[in-house]
Chain A
Amino acid sequence: MKRNVRFAGVSEPIKKRLRLATNLLEAYDLRVAMQEWDGTRCDLLLVQDGDSYGQHAMLSAQRRHIPVLVFTSDLRPDDAGLSWLPESFQLPQLVRTLARLLGSEPSPGRIESTGLLCVAGDQHLRGQNFEARLGPHVIRVGAESGRVTANTLSDLLAARERIASGGWSFTTDRAPGLAGEVSSSLDVFFIRGALQLADELPRFPAGLYRLRGWPDLGSAPDLVNVLQLAGGLLRRASRAEELASRSRMGIAEVHACLWAFRAANLLIAVDERGSHLPHEAPPAPDAHKNGLLARLAARFGLQSS
């Protein structure tokens, strides 16, 4: 099948290399039609950072959940649906990146760019109320209420099981939530859904992250590890590997939690200088009190990490 790749606002030298890359992609069994952006649906959009037309095209593509590759002098970690490549890229590097983004290179896991877990954390839906539909299943995500509602428990569970699948459609103009419907904590919905698929999800983009606030975990008392993970991410910005080594969670579960925190609009990427948080820590209890608190923690099923 021919893949449609569009570019917008890129320089002439980059266009030349794109044409070369188009031929080289055949080595990956990819047939690519590379053309100027015309506003129609495509498989991938390429833009150059700082170009206003490219920026306009990028926003338009993101609204339609079309993946975007940005050529930039200010490299950033890949985000869901948004990838970065240095403007000074080498041709093989471009070809490999295009092959990966067009789905021809095996990746450690799959998360559909149109999946609920991915889209809920994207800029245009982040923090908004919206209705999400996958086949016959409809849920309403209430970012303000912190709850997700559905007409039936079956809809809610089906949506949770397919949280990373493609094919979702989203509407932002319908008010979510009515009393009497089946509802759940939005944060717990994302966390349980992501953990259920932990082995299938790709690694979260590398970087230092922290939480802007506690996820609402009250209705998930079985998720003690997630509680401790969240506590750690509130105290100190961390990388996934550090979190896994400090917690009793596997690396795949940590990455799943990061995807879920992002979808719940709780995750913040920070630079190295921001790894320590400005929050005033509670005063450290004295040694005797510490011993009592450790016993209290054990009584409530918390193990020291």
Chain B
Amino acid sequence: MDNNRLNTLKLVIAGPVGAGKTTAIRSLADMEPVSTEMALTDGAMGEKTTTTVALDFSTVLLDDGTPLLVYGLPGQERFDHMRPIVISGAVGVIVLLDGSDAKVTTDCEHWLDAVRSIDPTLPVVVGVTKTDTTANFHMGQLREVVQRSGLPIPVFTVDARDREQTAHLVRALLVSLG
């Protein structure tokens, strides 16, 4: 393990396209994230016109100057080869989901499996955005998915634009570490 890795911490934000990963990093981090955003090839998704194609990156400085490196994974499946590279060495993963998407339960299962396939012991917290804009969101179904994983993973509804709510996902991750 190199010295650099010994003195840094890495946090990864994963999830499908449009869940708010870049927004969450922007609200959490101390500096504007470095993003690799491109125009959506299939046209705009509502107000969303761009998508992350490689990764987002920013940092949060701890009080002693140690950086927490925050990475955002691209949501598209064609970039799945990026996941093991980015997740390796992370303290945990925030899986961010779009609560207004009818596929939210399937997405949750898929992304939890994706993280588990890379590191089954990695702490995970699930954040769900846009739940207040839909009548069809079912927290109970997401909890069932999480329970099947056998670990008590926090599932929090959040607004990714809210710095404190995004920070609360990090707190939940740390509390679940024990």
Within 8 A of B (CB), among A255-305: 279-285, 288-289, 292-293, 295-302
Q: How many residues of B sit at the interface, in one of the four size bands?
A: 35 or more
A213 and B156 form a contact (CB under 8 A): no
Q: Is A300 a contact of B167 with CB atoms below 8 Å?
A: yes
Smallest CB separation, B19 vs chain A (Å) = 14
Kindly report which residue of chain A lies nearest to residue B120, judged by CB atoms: A280
Q: Is B86 an interface residue (CB 8 A)?
A: no
Specify which chain B residues have a CB less than 8 angstroms from the CB of A293 in the assembled complex. 9, 91, 174, 177
Mark B140-177 against chain A: 1 for CB-CB distance below 8 A, else 0.
11010011001111111111001011011111101111
Stretch with Cβ within 8 A of A (4 or more), from B73-81, B109-117, B128-136 = B128-136
Q: A144-B140, A231-B176 are in contact. Are A282 and B123 (CB under 8 A)?
A: yes
Q: Does B6 contact A (CB under 8 A)?
A: yes
Q: Which residues from B are CB-within-8-Å of A283?
A: 121
Q: Is the CB of B174 within 8 A of A214?
A: no
Interface size class on chain A is 35 or more
B74 to chain A, nearest CB (A): 24
Give how many A-B residue pairs fall within 8 Å (CB-CB): 135
Chain B neighbourhood of A186, CB < 8 A: 139
Q: Known contacts being A221-B165, A231-B176, A282-B178, is A300 close to B171, with CB within 8 Å?
A: yes
DSSP class of A's interface residues: helix, strand, loop or mixed?
A: loop
Query: How far in angstroms is the closest Cβ of chain A from B169?
Result: 7
B36 within 8 A of A: no
Shortest distance between the CB of B80 and any CB in chain A (Å)? 24
Cβ contact within 8 Å between A297 and B174: yes
B interface, by DSSP: helix, strand, loop or mixed?
mixed
Q: Is B127 interfacial (CB-CB < 8 Å)?
A: yes
A302 in contact with B171 given A185-B157, A216-B157, A218-B127 (CB within 8 Å): yes
Chain A CB within 10 Å, residue with most, of B66, B91, B135, B155: B135
Query: A282 near B135 (CB under 8 angstroms)?
Result: no
A207: chain B residues at CB < 8 Å are: none
CB-contact partner of A217 in B9, B156, B170, under 8 A: B156
On chain B, the residues within 8 Å of A296 by CB distance are 9, 62, 68, 91, 170, 174
A163 to chain B, nearest CB (A): 20
B57 within 8 A of A: no
Q: How close is B132's CB to chain A, nearest CB, in angstroms?
A: 5
| B153 partner residues in chain A, CB cutoff 8 A | 214
Query: Which segment of A40-48, A87-95, A176-184, A238-246 sits at the interface?
Result: A176-184
State how many angstroms separate the Cβ of B10 from the closest Cβ of chain A.
11
- Find out whether the CB atom of B63 lies under 8 angstroms from the CB atom of A298: yes
Given contacts A143-B140, A179-B135, A219-B157, whether A285 and B170 have CB atoms under 8 Å apart is no
Sample (14) of A-B pairs whose CB atoms are under 8 Å apart: A143-B140, A144-B139, A179-B135, A183-B132, A185-B157, A213-B152, A214-B153, A218-B156, A218-B168, A219-B159, A235-B178, A280-B151, A282-B176, A282-B178
- Known contacts A293-B91, A299-B68; can you find 20 more A-B pairs with CB under 8 A? A145-B135, A211-B152, A214-B153, A216-B139, A217-B154, A221-B167, A222-B164, A279-B151, A285-B91, A292-B7, A292-B9, A292-B66, A293-B174, A295-B66, A296-B62, A296-B68, A296-B170, A297-B174, A299-B62, A300-B174
A-to-B contact residues, CB < 8 Å: 143-147, 177-179, 183, 185-186, 211, 213-214, 216-222, 224, 227-228, 230-231, 234-235, 279-285, 288-289, 292-293, 295-302
